[in-house]
Amino acid sequence: MDVCEAIIKRRSVRSFSDRTVEKELLIRLIEAAIWAPSGSNIQPWHFVVVTDEEQRSKIKAFAPGLAGVPPALIVICTDMDLCERKGGRLGRDVLSLMDAAFAAQNINLLAVELGLGTCVVRSFNQSAIQGILKLPGYLVPQLLIAVGYPEKIPMAPGRRNIQDVISWERYG
């Protein structure tokens, strides 16, 4: 599948079958994620992959933005100490989240090729997820990605017209 096709076909999938996601595929998703760009090449990420039913259920309880209980979750965490040490305030306050998002999109796009659905979630309680996953204080969960074989693939929501969002040389 070429990149453009994956970009166009990607959806935020919120309905998954019960089929287990193979460990090998989850590893491939993380392999894609670590090739994302990161500010100053800090690569501040740490990925916690959750497939255990009880653990997923606990996360779900404190993640209002998570639809259902997907077969697998990838929790993208960033090392905030590393971000600040190597990236300063910019690293800590801005790049930490941007880098997580870059990694998330790599996961999203490879998932399309692998026949998987994903949904990126930020509506969760960070402290609760830190506690459930036993994360050290400097590792902050930034994004949850629900991963599974789609039960239903949503229609593409509309897109703003490209003419309205592009300017050349200067705004206007």
Partner 1 sequence: MTDILIDKKKLIDVFCFILASARGCLDEPPVYGPLRLLETYTMLIDALKEGDVPSVFLEEKERIESYMMMCMYNEKSFEEELNKSLARIVNAIAD
7 vs 156, which CB is nearer to partner 1?
156
Q: 145: which residues sit within 8 A by CB, 6+ positions away?
A: 73, 74, 75, 76, 104, 107, 108, 118, 119, 120, 121
DSSP assigned state of 159: -
- Amino acid identity at 13: V
13 vs 109, which CB is nearer to partner 1?
13
Smallest gap from residue 34 Cβ to partner 1 (A): 29
Beta bridge partners of 144: 75, 121
Q: Does 161 bind partner 1 (CB under 8 A)?
A: no
Q: Does 62 bind partner 1 (CB under 8 A)?
A: yes
- Binding string to partner 1 for residues 15 to 54, with x set by CB under 8 A, is what? ----------------------------------------
Residue from 123, 161, 163, 167 that binds partner 1 (CB under 8 A)? 123
Number of chain positions touching partner 1 (CB under 8 A):
14
Beta bridge partners of 118: 12, 147
Beta bridge partners of 75: 48, 144
Q: Does 125 bind partner 1 (CB under 8 A)?
A: yes
Q: How many residues does the chain have?
A: 172
Q: Does 128 bind partner 1 (CB under 8 A)?
A: yes
66 vs 76, which CB is nearer to partner 1?
66
Token match 């400097």: residue?
Answer: 138
Structure tokens at 136: 């050290």
The footprint of partner 1 (CB under 8 A) covers 14, 57, 60-65, 123-125, 128, 157-158
